[in-house]
Structure 1
Amino acid sequence: MLNVIVTVLFFIQPMAYDEDLTITHDDEVIQHINRHQFIENELLDPFFNFEKIEQLVIQVEREVHEQARNAKIEKDGNIKQEKVGRQLNREKFIEGLFSYLYGSGSSKIEVPELPVHPKVDSELLANIRTQEIGSYVTYFNPKNKERSHNIRLAAEAIDSHVVFPGETFSFNEVVGKRTKEKGYKPAPVIVKGEVTEGIGGGICQISSTMYNAVDNAGVKILERYSHSKRVPYVPEGRDATVSWYGPDFTFKNVYNQPLLIRTNVINGQVSIKVYSSDVVDFESRKIPGATKKLPQEIELDSLD
């Protein structure tokens, strides 16, 4: 009897494998499935579990997805070329999948893809960095290593960002959540009564500098909040506080051309400039400058 069972299993297994669908990507196998995995009820064959089918589609999507990369101006002034991404062609993949599920025998699908083009290419960057339409400079103490580090990280996240006509810029969306995993550090200092404690301390200097730069460029400010206490790096009433779970700084590009944001942090100086093409129709605003005098900083540890 045992010999009979072993013989039956020997013949059944290859037959089951012969019914498989092989899913490949770049000629490499990423999934083997069998239509019987998706049958909801054998008595209602072929009645399929569409939740399981959707889970498979999502898994394949994750496997093939490749993020597009925008072109960016590097520190030496050269433009780093954009990179086209890719995503699953869901419609074509599902069509092939159901062709297999409702058919018989084995089959094979090479995952169909669609290109994902970057929003900003090198040609656009070259065109919109020709005319400076707004700028602002603020100053900080470079000896405060943690705060300086956070300022640089936030500035790098914004550098080369393009805001298209009619588009709204959100500081929180572009910079993202300020976390330890992203490299932000605690910056426990008090600057003239303003506590900047916790991960990401110091980034409000970037949002405040940016507020003044884009206001100088004449854009439409949509959302801007002042700190509860005066901050020293911009004139009174010219700051923009931001927090991931709280206030954001946003503005709208009201011009007929895209805007390019450039940031530079060096030797205790934050410089943010706004550029556009030479045909942009803009109207700048006069903005009061920031003081170069650095305030006294008090380490929190010394308050114990």
Structure 2
Amino acid sequence: MKFIILILLMLLIPLNDTMANDKMAEDHTLTLNEEEIKQYAYPFIGTPFINEDKLHYLIEDLNEKVYKDPINAEFDEMGEIIQEKSGIELDENKFNTLFRTSFYAGDDMEIEVPKQPIQPRVDSELLAEISVQEMGSFVTTFKQSNVERTHNIGLASEAINDYVVFPGERFSFNEVVGERTEERGYMRAPVIVKGELAEDIGGGICQVSSTLYNAVDLKGIQIVERYAHSRSVPYVPPGRDATVSWWGPDFVFENMYNQPILVRAKADDGKMIVTIYSSDRVEYASDE
């Protein structure tokens, strides 16, 4: 009975940090030695068994250590394409095989944690191909003297710039731009709340979503979700706006073309410009 209680108590001990001292070379290579591997055994006498819960936490921890986001190809300020970069993640299948083989082998063995590349969504070849034909464009203006609002418009424009929407894929403004917070650089600026002017974090980004809405108003783009402000706004004609809020309305559209579309957005010199591009082979499915 005491032996069983001892086992249960040891199972409740959280994953210790001995593995945090892995040998990490300048190329971020991680290794596990035999002593580190054997700590993931149940405290049974005789043939060892792997504690799968602890191994699961180990895999999560290793992936956090090696993970690196891929970077999509994009345009620089001169219009030249910046090459994409692959990301890195833990090769879980290979790691599981190596870990279990080493664990049950019982000899002096060291594992080099296996990694695999993560390919970016957009490479330079694709970006070059879908930036050929202009599909639509729209321009709105804003007062640069309103520094906070101008700043927010610039941040949201950068978030949607060079974004690629693949055939059949939906674009969500809130998902792509993300939450508008002070931590992410957004500032307090005028917004419309229930028909009244107020100030809130991220004020001004509705001009970005509204400009985008007018630019993607094309026969091959299906507007899935759009909401109008509770009062007219000065930067677009009546009924041509698209209000957004992190905890409320979103602007969503779906690409119905046979090719990806590219969103180019820029806020400069008092102008908010959104232009939509695609391949010279772009077609709307209903035209076939």
Q: What is the TM-score normalised by the length of structure 1?
A: 0.80
Whole-angstrom distance in 1 between the partners of 2:273 and 2:37 = 60
CA contact (8 A) 1:220 1:251 kept: yes
- SS of aligned partner of 1:201: coil
Residue 120 in 1 paired to residue 122 in 2? Answer: yes
CA contact (8 A) 1:134 1:217 kept: no
Whole-angstrom distance in 2 between the partners of 1:225 and 1:22 = 54
The letter for the 2-side match of 1:165 is P
Whole-angstrom distance in 2 between the partners of 1:129 and 1:210 = 17
Instruction: Point out where structure 2 has 5 or more consecutive residues left out of the alignment.
Output: 1-21
1:143-196 per-residue CA deviation (whole Å, 9 max, x = no partner) reads: 0000000000000011111111111111111111111121111114679x6525
Residue 239 in 1 paired to residue 241 in 2? Answer: yes
Whole-angstrom distance in 2 between the partners of 1:136 and 1:162 = 18
Whole-angstrom distance in 2 between the partners of 1:218 and 1:277 = 13
Return closer, same or farther for 1:73/1:101 CA change in 2, 3 Å cut-off: same
Corresponding position of 1:203 = 205
- Deviation, 1:45, is 4.2
State the percentage of identical aligned residues.
50
The letter for the 1-side match of 2:69 is Q
Instruction: Point out where structure 1 has 5 or more consecutive residues left out of the alignment.
Output: 1-20, 284-304
CA contact (8 A) 1:217 1:274 kept: no
Corresponding position of 1:156 = 158
The letter for the 1-side match of 2:229 is H
- SS of aligned partner of 1:173: helix
Corresponding position of 1:166 = 168
- SS of aligned partner of 2:200: coil
- Deviation, 1:127, is 1.1
The letter for the 1-side match of 2:108 is S
Whole-angstrom distance in 2 between the partners of 1:64 and 1:102 = 25
Corresponding position of 1:223 = 225
CA contact (8 A) 1:172 1:248 kept: yes
- Deviation, 1:209, is 0.6
Whole-angstrom distance in 2 between the partners of 1:61 and 1:85 = 12
CA contact (8 A) 1:128 1:259 kept: yes
Tell me how many residue pairs correspond in the alignment. 263
Whole-angstrom distance in 1 between the partners of 2:26 and 2:91 = 12
Whole-angstrom distance in 1 between the partners of 2:184 and 2:67 = 22
Whole-angstrom distance in 1 between the partners of 2:216 and 2:136 = 6
4+ runs deviating over 6 angstroms = 21-25
CA contact (8 A) 2:32 2:112 kept: no
Return closer, same or farther for 1:116/1:220 CA change in 2, 3 Å cut-off: same
CA contact (8 A) 1:194 1:231 kept: no
Question: Radius of gyration: which is bigger?
Answer: 1
Return closer, same or farther for 1:82/1:217 CA change in 2, 3 Å cut-off: farther
Q: What is the TM-score normalised by the length of structure 2?
A: 0.84
1:48-87 to 2 correspondences below 5 Å: 48-87=50-89
Return closer, same or farther for 1:175/1:239 CA change in 2, 3 Å cut-off: same
Corresponding position of 1:37 = 39
1:105 to 104, 107, 130: 107
Whole-angstrom distance in 2 between the partners of 1:71 and 1:194 = 41
Corresponding position of 1:18 = none
Corresponding position of 1:276 = 278
RMSD across aligned C-alpha pairs, in angstroms?
2.4
- SS of aligned partner of 1:187: strand
